[in-house]
Amino acid sequence: MSKNKNSLLWEISTEHAEPSYIFGTMHVQDEKAFGNIALIEDCILKCSAFAAEYDLDSANNFDFEAVSDLPDGQKLSDHIKPLIYEKLDKIFKRETGLKLQYFEGKKPIIIMNMLSSAQFAKDKHVSLDEHLYDFAKGEHKEMLGIESFESQLEILKNMPMKAQLKSIKDLALNFSRFRRTLKRSAELYMESNLSKLTKKAKSSAAGMRKLLLYDRNILMADKIAEIISEKSLFAAVGAGHLGGKKGVLYLLKKKGFLLKPI
């Protein structure tokens, strides 16, 4: 693997005449994230198949809603002290324009994701990862999923409630720090600074690194290796999964693949 690790788009050399590619995406609609879109789309066109983290067409909103709810009719306010809840309520209304009471039955991670999304520009109709999926589908590529939608739901189901509650309480008590962290992550993404993005991803995952990153990285590398042994593939995964000694790029290198930054 090249010493220049600060790239989000990598060519994977295989036995096929056509190379495969892996790209680190970000779930944002900010136009700045689309800066190299022509190059990325050109790489997609060179491949016979496209794989997102999961096949977006397999998503079931009813299943997602069920897993995103707190168990046994619980409410968020059951788990948070009134003063902290009041702070969170004000932040949520200010940032999203919505009342927190309408989402009281949702898990903390859902509330945090809504607040995260509200921090970025909505220049595009869809996020970068969705755009790539739609582009590949429009070009009649074979559409695959590196993980299954069901496995994504299982991750959400198994996220420790204690860790989620700690994170949302920290957010309520220091929202400016939460916002700065998100903005910095976006800046690092625009710079294609993979090494620092990896550190940010690990820091954000905190006590859930094994569940959210490390275990999934192994499964992703195994699946990508399986697919590219048969056909040329463009794989699009969250940028936080790529770097580091436990990242997908390193795991693919260990399997004997040659990787080159584009």
Yes or no: say if 142 and 203 are a contact pair by the CB < 8 Å rule. no
CA pair distance 9, 36, nearest whole angstrom: 10
**CB atoms < 10 A from the CB of 203, how many?**
11
Q: What percent of the chain has pLDDT over 90?
A: 74
Section 251-256 average pLDDT: 95
- The rounded mean pLDDT for the chain is 92
Q: What is the per-residue pLDDT for 4?
A: 55
Looking at the predicted structure, is the pLDDT value of residue 93 above 50? yes
CA pair distance 237, 97, nearest whole angstrom: 30
**Domain spans in the chain, listed from the N-terminal domain onward:** 9-70+126-164+187-261
End-to-end CA distance of the chain: 12
CA pair distance 1, 102, nearest whole angstrom: 49
Residue pLDDT, tens place only, 21-75: 999 999 888 888 898 999 999 999 999 999 999 988 888 887 888 899 999 889 9
CA pair distance 226, 146, nearest whole angstrom: 10
